Every structure is written in structure tokens, then in C-alpha cells.
Amino acid sequence: MGLERSLQQRVADQTDGRRHPAMAGPRCRITPLSVTVAAVVLVVLPLHTESAAVQSADEPPSRPPLQRPSMLQPVFLNTTRHVQAPVGRPAYLHCIVQHPGDRTISWVRRKDLHILTVGEYTYSSDQRFQSLHVPGTQEWTLKVRSPTPADSGVYDCQVSTEPRMSLAFQLDVTVSQARILGSPELHVKTGSDVNLTCEVAHNTRVFYWYHNGDVINHSGRPRLRLETEPTVSRLYITRMTANDTGTYTCGPSGAEPASVVVHAINGGHPAAMQHNSAGLSRPAGWPLLIALLWLPLLVSTVVAQAHSGD
């Protein structure tokens, strides 16, 4: 009530013009309702100001402003940067970028500064190059299909920042070398069975065998048989003949070929023949020969035992 009386007195003084003559004029009627509304406004305003001050005081003073993802600085994450791939097998370079935002990721071949891909699009006329990216992930992969040794070199993963960010990747396209187990030259007794085993370091789609430069077609030759696995191929020759003499070459796809020279000989002592470490040569009458070598010793032993019994 004291506040209401004070307000009434102040309004009456201003109305009468006793304090401010320039405001003298017709008297205004002050009702108890208007005085009450004015009092409520004067009381609520300080409370609102005090509440805002308390709320500001509750905020941590050192709290940094929130940044949108596009404002964060991109960061290259750890990944394999030296990639080796055999000829003809797809090669993959994986670039992982954290906080890319709305920036663009590109792949550039350094030796000629040729832009290969931008985002998910291929800009090179060489369609062997392809950008692989799953939306929402942080990985941009450069795929090189059927690489050759000429594709070896440095490839840069670039982010469209200012200045531009770049991470170098080294690609080495290796030429695999096929290998035929055993000696590079074999002497095989006619009538023996031969096993030529060819190995390669990586999986291959197909093995080609050649005899004196001609592709071996084993389907029409019952004495020849092929067994092929992802990294190994075996050529079996049953009952070696003089016609089987010559150079045998194993040529896996995506690898350098390997060759071995096979000689078919007639007669001769087995000890004078060259044998492959994988058992490439074995005379067909080998068990009989062993029996004949042991027969004299066996006979002499039986005779000696008979004489001792007498």
C-alpha cells in the first residue's frame, strides 16, 4: 500500500504541474487499477533482470562457441600409404579424412599432375581409375583395375582446403615370376613318368603350358594330365617318349613365364640321370631293378644259412 500511495502522489504532483509547470494541463484521473498495474511492472522487471543474471552466471565462462562440421579442420587418419600390387590384379589406395565437411576429395597422379577423380566422379579418360566412396563415411578409395608397371608412382589424396591439403601414396606394381621346381634341365629315361610343377606368388586366373612354343592341348593326349590350383599348376607326362623331348614353359596370367628343358634318353644307368627334387623322373621298372639288385644278396644269405645248418 505504501508503494501505491507513493505512485499516486507522484502522478498527482506531475498532473498539478507543481514540479513541472510545462506539464500543467487538464487533470488526469488515476484509478486504483492503473496504479496496481504499474506496481506489478516495477516489481517483475527487476526479478526478470535478476533471473537473466543468474542464468548467465551459471554458464561456464571458458566455454568455446560451437562449430559447425564444415568449419572443423580436416585431418588425415593413419592408413597404409605404400601399396604393392601384382600386374593385372586390382590395386586399392585408401585415403581416410576426418571432418571433411563440404570439401571435395580428389586423387591426382603426381608424375604428370593429372587429376584422376574428384569426389565420386572419374575425370580421367583412362577408365581403369575409379573413385570408391560410401556416403557418410570418411574413406575415399582410388581403385586401379589391371595395373601395369607404368602405373607405379606417387598418387596424392587432396582436400579442397585453402591452402590445399595433400597426402602422398606410393604404388608399386610388381611383375611376378613363375618358377618350375627342380633343375632347369632334366634327363629322363624313356618310359618314366614326369611331373613338372609350376608355382607363382599370387593367385592367378589361368596357367598356360607350352611345349617347344606350342600350347599344350592335353585333351587329345591321354598321356598328359594337368592339375591346377590358384598358385600351382602341375603337368604330368606318363611314359616319357622321345617325342616328349624339348622345352616346357609355364606361363601364368599376370606373371613372367618359366621354362625347363627335358631330355628323353634310352638306356643308361639311373645314377647317371638328373632327377628333379620334386621327383620328376622315375623309371617305370624301378621296383624290378631294386629286386634284381637284392636277389644275389638274398640267395647268398640263404646258401650260407644252409651250409651252417649242415
Question: How far, in Å, CA of 188 to CA of 195, rounded?
Answer: 11
pLDDT category at 28 given cuts 50, 70, 90 is: very low
- What is the DSSP pairing of strand 153-159 with strand 165-174? antiparallel
Do residue 97 and residue 143 come from a single domain? Answer: yes
Q: Is the pLDDT of residue 34 over 70?
A: no
Task: Check which CATH number belongs to the domain holding 164 and give it.
Answer: 2.60.40.10
Closest CA to 198 of 244, 235, 240: 235
Looking at the fold, whether 270 and 206 belong to one and the same domain comes out as: yes
The answer on 280 and 183 residing in a single domain is yes
Q: Are residues 139 and 226 in the same domain?
A: no
Residue with cell 507522484: 10
- How much is the average pLDDT of 206-218? 90
Count the Cβ atoms, other than its own, within 10 Å of residue 127.
8
Q: Write the pLDDT tens digit of every residue in 12-27.
A: 555 554 444 444 444 5
User: Model's pTM, two decimal places?
Assistant: 0.54
Reduced to 3 states, what is the DSSP secondary structure of residue 13? helix
Mean pLDDT of 252-264: 92
Q: What is the pLDDT of residue 221?
A: 75
Q: What pLDDT score does 273 carry?
A: 53
Looking at per-residue pLDDT, the higher value among 279 and 89 belongs to 89
pLDDT at 63: 55
Containing structural domain, residue 93: 72-174
Is residue 115 assigned to a domain? yes
Share of the chain above pLDDT 70, in %: 63
User: Is 154 part of any domain?
Assistant: yes
Q: Do 170 and 190 sit in the same domain of this protein?
A: no
Residue 141: inside a domain, yes or no?
Answer: yes
